């Protein structure tokens, strides 16, 4: 999950001619490396739910116009901004809070011209002038963008740690063992420890897990759909699945399933502090 810095890699834009504009990407390199060039600390949008549609689901506005798109359809917004406004955002998959990211830039773009922030990519640079097209590239070569991306990661880590703390102290947890149907109330660790001890089902230490109820719900759903948690094969009935998981020692989760990453606090730490994480391995 550590974010590789593939600066300026924009899929589908070949024959690009990167041209630095007034004081952005590449020009003030030495200056860019120091934090002095950021005149004031970034102020992140307070509430991620800055805009809400009528049905209550969150939406994200276009940076340039009044169009809105549901958060879940961020690709549509990105496409809209490329086609209508010629803006390309690099490595957008690595932005951990897309809504806050967009709201931040929407505000900044009203304050300063786009060329203060974006590099210009000239498409078709060898073609006659009238066939050439300029696109604007927003990417983390720009110190302000890089810091914004890092701040969003740290902000998310903070929220995750708060959530983890709350779950750690919560004594109102209520859950049912997915193997023997025994009911547990109190702290989530009681159920997790029971499953580890009684059924050799170990998903990690309770304190390393976040959004535990959601995690268990997801696992329960898979079992309800008669799917083995480890090999993810489907079975015709409950008993066959139960026997299979016991006999084959498949009472564990598939470590390759990336769906589970977001339930482990370590992944948020790695993301927010990649440099610290790598150091700890040496
Ligand atoms: Zn627009
Ligand atoms: Zn049990
Ligand atoms: Zn299996």
Residue 224 to residues 83, 91, 205, 234, 242: CA-CA distances in angstroms?
44, 37, 24, 11, 11
* pLDDT recorded at residue 270: 86
Annotate 183-201 with DSSP letters as a single string: EEEE-HHHHHHHHHHHH--
**Which residues does residue 120 pair with via DSSP β-bridges, in sequence order?**
19, 136
* pLDDT recorded at residue 37: 39
* pLDDT recorded at residue 243: 94
DSSP secondary structure letter of residue 18: E
* pLDDT recorded at residue 86: 95
* pLDDT recorded at residue 159: 95
Ligand 2 geometric centre to CA of 185 (Å): 13
* pLDDT recorded at residue 17: 40
**Which residues does residue 183 pair with via DSSP β-bridges, in sequence order?**
176
* pLDDT recorded at residue 25: 36
Give the number of the ligand closest to the Cα of residue 195: 2
Judged by DSSP in three states, 7 sits in: coil
**Which residues does residue 136 pair with via DSSP β-bridges, in sequence order?**
87, 120
Residue 279 to residues 157, 171, 272, 275, 276: CA-CA distances in angstroms?
19, 36, 14, 6, 5
The encoded tokens of residue 30 equal 């030495």
Task: Tabulate helix, strand, coil % of the chain (nearest 5).
Answer: 45, 15, 40
* pLDDT recorded at residue 118: 95
Nearest to 135 by CA among 146, 145, 125, 143: 125
Q: Do the Cβ atoms of 20 and 27 come closer than 8 Å?
A: yes
Ligand 3 geometric centre to CA of 179 (Å): 15
* pLDDT recorded at residue 56: 47
Ligand 2 geometric centre to CA of 184 (Å): 10
Which residue matches tokens 């060039």?
Answer: 37
Give the number of the ligand closest to the Cα of residue 109: 1
* pLDDT recorded at residue 51: 45
Q: How far apart are the C-alpha atoms of 39 and 65, rounded to whole Å?
A: 27
Give the number of the ligand closest to the Cα of residue 179: 2
Ligand 1 geometric centre to CA of 67 (Å): 6
Q: How far apart are the C-alpha atoms of 146 and 6, rounded to whole Å?
A: 12
Give the number of the ligand closest to the Cα of residue 193: 2
- Sheet of 17-19: strand order equals 17-19, 119-123, 133-138, 87-89
Walk along the chain (282 residues) in steps of 10 and give the mean pLDDT of each run: 40 38 36 40 56 60 96 94 95 93 96 94 77 89 95 94 95 93 94 94 91 95 96 96 94 94 92 73 56
Q: Do the Cβ atoms of 269 and 157 come closer than 8 Å?
A: yes
Ligand 3 geometric centre to CA of 268 (Å): 29
Ligand 3 geometric centre to CA of 257 (Å): 14
* pLDDT recorded at residue 239: 94
The encoded tokens of residue 233 equal 């094969």
Ligand 1 geometric centre to CA of 15 (Å): 25
Handedness of CA 253, 256, 258, 259 (dihedral sign): negative
Q: Do the Cβ atoms of 152 and 100 come closer than 8 Å?
A: yes
Ligand 3 geometric centre to CA of 43 (Å): 48
Handedness of CA 18, 22, 81, 98 (dihedral sign): positive
Ligand 1 geometric centre to CA of 97 (Å): 19
DSSP secondary structure letter of residue 262: G
Judged by DSSP in three states, 109 sits in: helix
* pLDDT recorded at residue 50: 43
Ligand 2 geometric centre to CA of 3 (Å): 38
């Amino acid at each position: 999950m550590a974010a590789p810095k593939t600066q300026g890699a924009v899929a589908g834009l070949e024959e690009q001619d990167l041209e630095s504009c007034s004081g952005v990407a590449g020009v003030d390199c030495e200056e860019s490396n120091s934090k002095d060039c950021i005149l004031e600390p970034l102020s992140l949008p307070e509430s991620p739910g800055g805009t809400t549609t009528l049905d209550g689901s969150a939406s994200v506005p276009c940076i340039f116009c009044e169009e809105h798109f549901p958060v879940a359809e961020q690709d549509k917004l990105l496409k809209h901004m490329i086609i209508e406004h010629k803006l390309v955002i690099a490595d957008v998959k690595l932005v951990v809070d897309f809504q806050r990211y967009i709201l931040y830039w929407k505000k900044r773009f009203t304050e300063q011209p786009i060329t203060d922030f974006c590099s210009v990519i000239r498409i078709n640079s060898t073609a006659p002038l009238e066939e050439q097209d300029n696109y604007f590239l927003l990417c983390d070569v720009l110190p302000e963008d890089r810091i914004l991306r890092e701040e969003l990661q740290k902000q998310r880590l903070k929220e995750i740690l708060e959530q983890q703390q709350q779950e750690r102290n919560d004594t109102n947890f209520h859950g049912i063992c997915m193997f023997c149907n025994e009911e547990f109330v109190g702290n989530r660790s009681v159920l997790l420890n029971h499953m580890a001890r009684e059924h050799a089902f170990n998903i990690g230490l309770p304190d390393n897990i976040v959004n535990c109820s959601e995690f268990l719900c997801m696992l329960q759903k898979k079992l309800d759909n008669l799917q083995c948690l480890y090999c993810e094969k489907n079975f015709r009935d409950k008993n066959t699945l139960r026997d299979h998981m016991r006999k084959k020692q498949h009472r564990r989760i598939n470590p390759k399933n990336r769906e589970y990453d977001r339930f482990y606090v370590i992944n948020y730490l790695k993301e927010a502090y990649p440099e610290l994480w790598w150091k700890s391995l040496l």
